[in-house]
Amino acid sequence: MKKIAFRAGIAVLATATMLLTGCSSSDGAEPKSGATTQAAADNGVAALTADEILTKAKEALTKAGSFHFAGSGTSEGTVMTMDFKVSGKDLSGKMSMGEGADVEILAVGDKQYMKPSEGFWALLAGPEQAKTMAAATGGKWVAVPAKDSTSSLFAAADVDELLKPTGKVAKGEVVQVDGKPAVTLTDSGDADASLYIATTGEPYVLRVGKSATGDGIKFTEFGQKFDIAAPAADQVIDQSALGK
């Protein structure tokens, strides 16, 4: 299995990656910019070491309290898409791995839920069991135990896991990311995924991708309020009832 590491939103795909070897990150929504963005002062991160910059980026996301990231990519010919909102430790979003393999993800408080399509069940349990499990859920949310093989799907709500490299972090040049200056961080364990950190204003992660342009996961809505709520009790089925 290929490690996921520095691919930001792709941390959500950890379980899926066990099933599809390797993945590559790509497009999403551009971060919002306020009227004072151009006048924002240099935040000094470009002068720091790579590890210090990464620490500042983690601190900024944690301080923001919430953020939105979205993107799509291709793994061995399969197009993957994702769209997630994070608020504290709460998480709401969805991802698709092509061929009808879709899943909605929800984490509220210490509770985890997922709503897989039949195609996603096929990835987890095989095509023979997929129809049975899809029928058993009846379109309801599945309550996922805290310690489960699918728990890594919820890793996006953990900033440390979200921005965890597999190898040594190195600092690159300052580039423009959607008109904003950002310093590049690379991971020796993942040559296809660079992290771009804003050098003005808060040192937010602006993007993760192979380059500063083209494909890449983008981050938006730092500090925005998201309404992430647990599903109604009658819309939840316990995973143990599925025989998994």
> What percentage of residues in the chain have a pLDDT greater than 70?
81
Among 40-54, 136-150, 200-214, the range of highest mean pLDDT: 40-54
The answer to whether the beta carbons of residues 98 and 124 sit under 8 Å apart is no
Q: How far is CA 160 from CA 11, 23, 114, 123, 238, in A?
A: 11, 20, 22, 27, 29
Domain count, the chain: 1
Q: Is residue 237 in a domain?
A: no
Confidence bin at 236 (pLDDT 50/70/90) = very high
9-33 confidence digits (pLDDT tens): 344 443 343 333 333 444 443 444 4
Segments of 7-110 assigned E as strands:
66-75, 78-87, 90-96, 102-108
Q: Is residue 242 in a domain?
A: no
Q: Is residue 191 in a domain?
A: yes
The answer to whether the beta carbons of residues 42 and 199 sit under 8 Å apart is yes
Give the mean model confidence (pLDDT) for residues 62-67. Answer: 96
Structural domain of residue 117, as residue ranges? 8-230
Q: What is the pLDDT of residue 243?
A: 57
Q: How far is CA 43 from CA 18, 30, 37, 53, 130, in A?
A: 39, 20, 12, 11, 51
For residue 84, what are the β-bridge partners?
69, 93
Q: Is residue 235 in a domain?
A: no
Q: Is residue 138 in a domain?
A: yes
Q: Is residue 24 in a domain?
A: yes
Q: Is residue 240 in a domain?
A: no
CATH number at residue 92: 2.50.20
Q: Is residue 238 in a domain?
A: no
For residue 95, what are the β-bridge partners?
82, 103
CB-count exposure of residue 61 (10 Å: 0-12, 13-18, 19+): buried
71-107 confidence digits (pLDDT tens): 876 666 677 788 999 999 999 999 888 778 899 999 9
